[in-house]
Amino acid sequence: MSSTLDIVNGDLFSLAGKTAVVTGGSRGIGYAIAKAFVGAGARVIITARGEEALKTAAAALGPNALGKQCDNADVAAIGRLMEEAWQLGPVDILVNNAGISPYYKRAEQVSVEEWDEVVDVNLRGLYFSCVELARRLFACGRGASIINISSVGGIAPLERLGVYSATKAAIHQLTRALALEWAGRGVRVNAVAPGWVETDFTNDLFASRHGERLLAEIPMGRLATPHDVVGAALYLASDASAYATGSIVVVDGGRSLR
């Protein structure tokens, strides 16, 4: 059992000697989490679809970071990613951060193609990332921490983001289901549900005619920054949360209280 001194010294939150995979890690929340993990002593593999952004991000993270191209909508690519990551050493932490919310539309305006795109990246890709890692962990009897980045939209539906909200609600239930299945095998599965976070998408949205109304719905009165999400991810990745599984950690400035 960790002592008070361990907590004060930060040992409880150390990731020294661990390997993490962070999907969608070239920018935003994913990059902020990857940077924090490197700072806590982990070796980090980040993924993204864009090769140049990936190279730039990995270089900025330093020698303990590596970039791997992967389209989260491509299940075969996810399998190849996990195999390549595993060949570098067993994976101790998986952060499923890759996700999209490209359409701010009423439900009747969303096309089948748009539905498929959001569901494939946000839900199907996340599911198979979990499964591909779990298969390798179970084969050698290792444990790990899986952290799924969801959204306040999975708790409090977001108008004009119905498909996105549906995928995030599904992630919460999937997180609990996998946590229940895998708890006895040493694999913890938790989720972080951020509120509105500063990104290119939200900056444009909050600058539009909808911005004032959306901001008024946040009790803390501001958007989150990617850094605001880091603490929850570090907690769930580290031994500080060794007895936590199936949890949804909400980091939304109070938005879900409305």
Q: How far apart are CA 72 and CA 56, in angstroms?
A: 20
Q: How far apart are CA 106 and CA 254, in angstroms?
A: 24
Pairing of strands 65-69, 43-48: parallel
Coil, strand, or helix at residue 33?
helix
Q: How far apart are CA 207 and CA 150, in angstroms?
A: 24
Q: Is 164 a catalytic residue?
A: yes
Q: How far apart are CA 239 and CA 2, in angstroms?
A: 9
Containing 65, the helix (H) or strand (E) segment is strand 65-69
Q: How far apart are CA 136 and CA 78, in angstroms?
A: 13
| Residue 23 CB contacts under 8 Å (≥ 6 apart), including other chains | 30, 46, 47, 70, 72, 94, 95, 96, 97, 98, 125, 129
Encoded tokens for 54? 């990936």
For residue 229, give the nearest of 255, 199, 254, 252 by alpha carbon.
252
Catalytic residue among 31, 103, 164, 235: 164
Q: How far apart are CA 148 and CA 134, in angstroms?
A: 14
Other Cβ atoms closer than 10 A to 4: 7
Q: Which residues belong to the active site?
A: 164
